[in-house]
Amino acid sequence: MKVAYWPGCVSRGFTPELHGSMAAVAPRLDLELIELDRANCCGAGVIAEHNQELVDTLNARTFAMAQQTGVQMMNICSTCQGAQSECQQRLDADPDYRAMINSHLEPEGLTYERGGREWTNKNLLWLLVEDIGLDALQEKVVRPLEGLRVAPFYGCYIVRPTGRLGYDEFPERDFYLDQVIEALGATTVDYAGSHKCCGFPVITMARATSLRQAGRHLADAIDAGGDCLVTPCPLCHLNLDLQQPEAEKYVERGLGIPVLHLPQLLGLALGLEPGELGMDKHVVRTREVQRKVAELVAA
């Protein structure tokens, strides 16, 4: 399957292991990635906060570039998904508004055509379940992650608001990460924080709120017996992994649970080695997860 691939800013910035692991795992999923390397930042909710016309134009530009490839668009960031879906909803809702936004793209020779259900922009998680399929995914597993206890962390932007994120058509989208974990042979950890906020959006504005959120979810996942978290959102990863030592101060306890990116967990089950997946590029060491996976191979 060929997709117009939007990696987002953070996967090429502070979480290079996400970009790398996606590239490594794509062939194993029979995914051909046409990277949109001329597309711009989705605005992550901040440009939307500043000026709606601006953010709608910027994302229409990305969509138009993706549509030029003639295939569906895929992203690997919950925040990109949410921010872009918000713009797409407005662009699709009103032909005159869309035409006005498109007039900004004209000088570049670009046009966004109403997507509807014909042309979609899906996070890797959605694509896995809806286009590749859980059965097909299971067949590709060469190293079932038996015994690995994985706590799913979805990221707000991919679960709310359901009205604009396609939940009418796909009501199970807030359950896919659990399903993927199980399909890879691992065990899903049920804990309070899976669909809550990591706190990242306010790390510079309300540090205590932000790190208390991150710390609390991490602690819940640990208490529920998780070996690691997995998330389809690199911003969640930053607050949960990069900031984890700081979060400890706000929840006044030790933490120390690794936070994997979705392509990393996929890669482990599809036979890639931790080194190929950038698992050494984490603040919270992934050694224990690696050891468990190595034991699976030995067994």
Partner 1 sequence: MSFDLKVRRYDPESGESAYWQDIQVELGPERSVLDAILKFKADTDNSLGIRCSCQAAICGSCGVRINGQSRLACNTQLGVASEEGRSKDGTIVVEPMGNMPVLKDLIVDMDAVHWKKIQRVVPWLLPEGEPPEREYVVPAESMIDITQSMACIQCGACVSACLSMEVDPEFVGPAALAKAYRFVGDPRDSQTEERLRDLAEDPHGIYDCTHCFACIEVCPKDVAPMSQIMRLRRRASGDYGIKDSNNGYGHEKAFVDIVRKYGTLHESQLLPRSYADGSLVKSQVRPDSLKQLAEGLPTVINGLRSGKVSPVKAIWHKKLPDQDQVRRIYHEVESRGERIELNLYIVGDEAEGDEWGPDAGAEAPAMGDAAEVATGPEAGTEQGAAVQ
Closer residue to partner 1 in complex, CB, 51/294:
51
Q: Of the ranges 134-142, 221-229, 261-269, 274-282, which one interacts with partner 1 (CB under 8 A)?
A: 274-282
- Residue 294 contacts partner 1 per CB under 8 A: no
Please report how close the Cβ of residue 138 comes to partner 1 at its closest, in angstroms.
21
Q: And the tokens for 90?
A: 């407005």
Which listed residue (33, 34, 41, 141) binds partner 1 by CB under 8 A? 41
Instruction: Count residues binding partner 1 (CB under 8 A).
Output: 77
Looking at the DSSP bridge assignments, the partners of residue 244 are none
Please report how close the Cβ of residue 281 comes to partner 1 at its closest, in angstroms.
5
Residues 147-206 that bind partner 1 (CB under 8 A): 156-157, 160-162, 171, 175, 196-197, 199, 201-202, 204-206
- Residue 96 contacts partner 1 per CB under 8 A: yes
Q: Extract the runs of DSSP E, i.e. beta strands, from 76-207.
A: 121-123, 149-152, 187-188
| CA distance to 18, 83, 293, per residue, from 227 (Å) | 19, 31, 11
> 10 Å Cβ neighbour count for 225?
12
CA–CA gap between residue 60 and residue 49 (Å, rounded): 17
- Residue 256 contacts partner 1 per CB under 8 A: no
- Residue 43 contacts partner 1 per CB under 8 A: yes
Closer residue to partner 1 in complex, CB, 88/126:
88
- Cis peptide, bond prior to residue 258, ω within 30 of zero: no
- Residue 143 contacts partner 1 per CB under 8 A: no
First to last CA, the chain: 33
Please report how close the Cβ of residue 263 comes to partner 1 at its closest, in angstroms.
16
Helix (H) or strand (E) holding 172: none
CA–CA gap between residue 38 and residue 23 (Å, rounded): 18
> 10 Å Cβ neighbour count for 15?
26
- Residue 97 contacts partner 1 per CB under 8 A: yes
Q: Of the ranges 15-23, 26-34, 139-147, 268-276, which one interacts with partner 1 (CB under 8 A)?
A: 15-23
- Residue 134 contacts partner 1 per CB under 8 A: no
- Residue 14 contacts partner 1 per CB under 8 A: yes
- Shortest CA distance to 79 belongs to which of 136, 11, 169? 11
Closer residue to partner 1 in complex, CB, 34/141:
34
